[in-house]
């Protein structure tokens, strides 16, 4: 299904058509659609539900049709982009070097994932998201956000940062509606105050 509006809409209704299909290098092995808007004269890429550009894993575990996936016994957000933070919270710091080939997760990747999540949730000073953005969109308690932010400010270790992200995730349901409300987009860049290690 094509969306009715593109990211370009500004009050004027979009008229969208498929311009191209392209293979994806990361993430689900389905071709991505490049859409063009006749009204606003721009193009954009349409990603599967809860996937983001360059992301290998979804924000929430859903089927490609957007339906919830029934989990076996794994906890919520396991196998998603939040896995790095969940592992760090439990003290599972990924190895510095891999021995089983390039697919093994490494510490620098865990660090990057956690930094992006902290920026997304407004836990770093460098992030654009404020307490009002995060609390109102995700509908979480402001005190939970403030506790998470203080935890990151006290120590930017992987374990503390992972625990802070978990504090934000804990009250959330793993559903498409939460992340559709959030309009989630991962923001790149590492803050200067944090070091991988």
What does each C-alpha distance from 53 to 24, 56, 87, 101, 130 come to in angstroms? 10, 9, 23, 24, 23
Q: In what order do the strands lie in the sheet with 16-22?
A: 16-22, 32-37, 42-46
- The answer to whether the pTM exceeds 0.85 is no
Distance CA 6, CA 47 (A): 12
Report the pLDDT value the prediction gives residue 103, as an integer from 0 to 100.
Answer: 66
Token pair in block for residue 59: 């924000």
What residue ranges in 23-174 does DSSP mark as E strands?
32-37, 42-46
Top pLDDT among 49 and 119 is at 119
Query: Which pLDDT tens digit goes with each residue over 124-160?
Result: 766 666 777 788 878 889 899 999 999 998 987 999 9
What does each C-alpha distance from 159 to 59, 88, 156, 176 come to in angstroms? 20, 5, 8, 27
Helix (H) or strand (E) holding 133: helix 131-138
**Least confident residue range of 58-62, 76-80, 118-122:** 58-62
Token pair in block for residue 24: 């994806």
Report the pLDDT value the prediction gives residue 132, as an integer from 0 to 100.
Answer: 79
Report the pLDDT value the prediction gives residue 195, as an integer from 0 to 100.
Answer: 36
Report the pLDDT value the prediction gives residue 101, as an integer from 0 to 100.
Answer: 61
Phi, psi of 143 (to 5 degrees): -65, -35
Query: Which pLDDT tens digit goes with each residue over 169-196?
Result: 999 888 777 766 665 432 333 333 333 3
Which residues, in sequence order, are CB contacts of 26 under 8 Å at separation 6+?
A: 54, 55, 56
What pLDDT band is residue 75 in, cutting at 50, 70 and 90? confident
Report the pLDDT value the prediction gives residue 127, as an integer from 0 to 100.
Answer: 60
Query: Which pLDDT tens digit goes with each residue over 35-48?
Result: 999 999 999 888 87
- Tell me if 64 sits within 8 A of 48, measured CB to CB: yes
């Amino acid at each position: 299904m094509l969306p009715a509006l593109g990211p370009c809409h500004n009050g004027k209704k979009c008229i969208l058509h498929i311009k191209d299909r392209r293979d994806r290098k990361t993430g689900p092995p389905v071709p991505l659609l490049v859409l063009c808007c006749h009204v606003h004269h721009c193009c954009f890429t349409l990603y599967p539900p809860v996937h983001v550009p360059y992301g290998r894993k979804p924000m929430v575990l859903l089927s490609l049709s957007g339906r919830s996936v029934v989990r076996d016994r794994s906890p919520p957000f396991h196998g998603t982009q939040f896995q790095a933070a969940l592992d760090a919270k439990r003290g599972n710091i990924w190895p510095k070097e891999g021995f089983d080939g390039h697919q093994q997760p490494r510490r620098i990747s865990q660090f990057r994932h956690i930094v992006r999540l902290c920026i997304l949730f407004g836990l770093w000073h460098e992030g654009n998201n404020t307490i009002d953005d995060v609390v109102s969109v995700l509908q979480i308690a402001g005190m939970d956000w403030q506790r998470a932010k203080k935890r990151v400010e006290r120590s930017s270790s992987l374990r503390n940062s992972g625990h802070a992200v978990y504090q934000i995730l804990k009250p959330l349901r793993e559903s498409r509606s939460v992340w559709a409300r959030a309009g989630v987009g991962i923001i790149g860049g590492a803050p200067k105050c944090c070091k991988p290690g």
